[in-house]
Amino acid sequence: MTSGRIEFDNVVRRFRVIRERPDTLRETFAKLLRRRPGNYYQFEALKGVSFRIEEGEAVGIIGRNGSGKSTILKTIAGVYQPSSGRVAVRGKVAALIELAAGFHAELTGRENIVLNGLLLGLTRREIAERESAIIDFAEIGDFIDSPVKQYSSGMFMRLGFAVAVQVNPDILLMDEILAVGDAAFQQKCFDWIDEFRLRGKTTVMVAHAMGAIQAHCQRVLLIDSGRLVADGFPDEVIPVYEALQKDAGAAGARMHNPATPMAPIREGQTSTRSVTG
């Protein structure tokens, strides 16, 4: 398996969801004495997902909120382990999944460069050698020596992305991270992503901005209710996603207005790639 390759084989990821949490110790014992069934249930965020991403591919993951996109990204990053199935990831991974992840609020931006760099696998010497390049890329000026608790979401994104690009990973994961930046800095990041891919590196991007997916991804995975429902070129998969969004909106409107007639059932759309799971 070459560096930069990702494989999911029939991956299931379950979470335990609490139905209700007892407020007092007395309530806890009362529930035990009444022998009520457990106050939680199993939620399957991923349901038998299978795909393979090759070295050097730029892949977008799209889907409605709660569909399982971020769960896939966090499973690739190793934050989550699959409940069943197999995940194989080869190469160094840099993940930009949540703003402020890996940052300490009381430390300055400069100090967080060291902390974040260590978490991403750099040595202190490597961090020192790359610090000026990180600061130049981030473009946050004198705020680099201010505590990051004073940063805006855009400043967090700038600094996090600047550190990640200096790690020189084999795989870069991004979850809506660029949505908070200004247009000029977003373009700077996308230019870097395109150059990164041309060097044979792999990018996986979760986004709701279809323009960014269309422009910077060769391939798109569509996730719906924890299942992979389409896998193909952006021109093929994005219309399927838009149809799902439209159908969901129509269903919501019918719930608020029962007199609205049911929409005709569409014939299923297919992708150039076969999808299992």
Residue at 40 is within a domain: yes
Averaged pLDDT of the chain = 84
* CB-neighbour burial class of residue 158 (10 A; exposed 0-12, middle 13-18, buried 19+): buried
Give just the sign of the alpha carbon dihedral 27, 29, 30, 36: positive
- Judged against a pLDDT cut of 90, whether residue 257 lies above it is answered with no
Residue at 137 is within a domain: no
- Judged against a pLDDT cut of 90, whether residue 25 lies above it is answered with no
* Structural domains counted in the chain: 1
Residue 119 pLDDT: 85
Distance CA 69, CA 221 (A): 9
Domain of residue 206: give its range: 8-84+172-179+201-277
Return the number of other C-beta atoms located less than 10 Å from residue 64's C-beta. 16
Instruction: For residues 133-161, give the mean pLDDT.
Output: 92
- Judged against a pLDDT cut of 90, whether residue 276 lies above it is answered with no
**Do the beta carbons of residue 58 and residue 193 sit within 8 Å?**
yes
251 pLDDT band (50/70/90 cuts)?
Answer: low
Angstrom distances, CA of residue 45 to CA of 62, 66, 70, 146, 253: 15, 8, 10, 39, 26
CA torsion angle for 63, 168, 133, 108 (degrees, to 10)? 60
Residue at 25 is within a domain: yes
CATH number at residue 266: 3.40.50.300
Residue 97 pLDDT: 83
Angstrom distances, CA of residue 199 to CA of 7, 168, 193: 21, 11, 10
Amino acid occupying residue 91: G
Residue at 48 is within a domain: yes
**Do the beta carbons of residue 233 and residue 273 sit within 8 Å?**
no
**φ and ψ of 90, to 5 deg:** -115, 120
Residue 157 pLDDT: 87
- Judged against a pLDDT cut of 80, whether residue 85 lies above it is answered with yes
Residues 6+ apart with CB under 8 A from 176: 206, 207, 208
**Do the beta carbons of residue 193 and residue 94 sit within 8 Å?**
no
- Judged against a pLDDT cut of 90, whether residue 258 lies above it is answered with no
Residue 265 pLDDT: 34
Distance CA 175, CA 264 (A): 35
Kindly state the DSSP code that residue 228 receives in the 8-state scheme: E
Residue at 105 is within a domain: no
Residue at 131 is within a domain: no
- Judged against a pLDDT cut of 90, whether residue 261 lies above it is answered with no
User: Which of the residue ranges 10-14, 41-45, 202-206, 236-240 would you say has the lowest mean pLDDT?
Assistant: 41-45
270 pLDDT band (50/70/90 cuts)?
Answer: very low
**φ and ψ of 240, to 5 deg:** -65, -45
Residue at 161 is within a domain: no
Residue at 157 is within a domain: no
